[in-house]
Amino acid sequence: MFAQLGAAIAAVMLLSSPALAESKLTDPQIAHVAYTAGNIDIAAAKQALTKASNKDVKAFAEDMVRDHEAVNKQALDLVKKLQVTPEDNDTSKALSKQAADKLAELGKLHGAAFDKAYIANEVAYHKIVDSALETKLIPSASNPELKSLLQTGLKIFQGHEQHAEHVAAELK
């Protein structure tokens, strides 16, 4: 319940932030949002690797670290190639704040309670990020290489969402 409430708050923050609601994001802002979203999931997965008790939850967390680090590396390589500096913005800041609060909340949990809350949060988080990629970030990207990387990321993250839903169903 709390994870779903947190996810709803994150969705509202992400989709109604001034950077997304008032104007089209620039490519440097989009790059920063995407990189921030990946780092958030890496941090959550690393927390899960130390706290999770279920082997499927740990395996999922390992996948999140591997996949998000790989996509973030591709993003860094692309911004270097394009000589673009990612630009912090209201959306990145809102995501970071909400993620810090969620990590603190999850940090108080142990065992099966942690496993369920972490996976529920991962399902919700991936739904939010997938939606933002599909409806806001990809359409707003003007550079074809950035747009392509975001589209590839979307496919990967949709797979993460399905994987998290599967693990969540097994934990019930």
Q: Is residue 20 in some structural domain? A: no
User: What pLDDT digit, counting tens, does each position of 48-94 carry?
Assistant: 999 999 999 999 999 999 999 999 999 999 999 988 899 999 989 99
Alpha-carbon distance of 127 to 100, in angstroms, equals 19
- The pLDDT of residue 116: 97
CATH code at 105?
1.20.1260.10
Which residue segment(s) compose the domain that 159 sits in?
A: 2-13+27-171
DSSP helix/strand/coil, 46: helix
Looking at the structure of the chain, the number of domains it has is: 1
Q: Which helix (H) or strand (E) holds 61?
A: helix 55-82
Q: Is residue 36 in some structural domain? A: yes
Q: Is the pTM of this model over 0.95?
A: no
User: What pLDDT digit, counting tens, does each position of 121-139 carry?
Assistant: 999 999 999 999 999 999 9
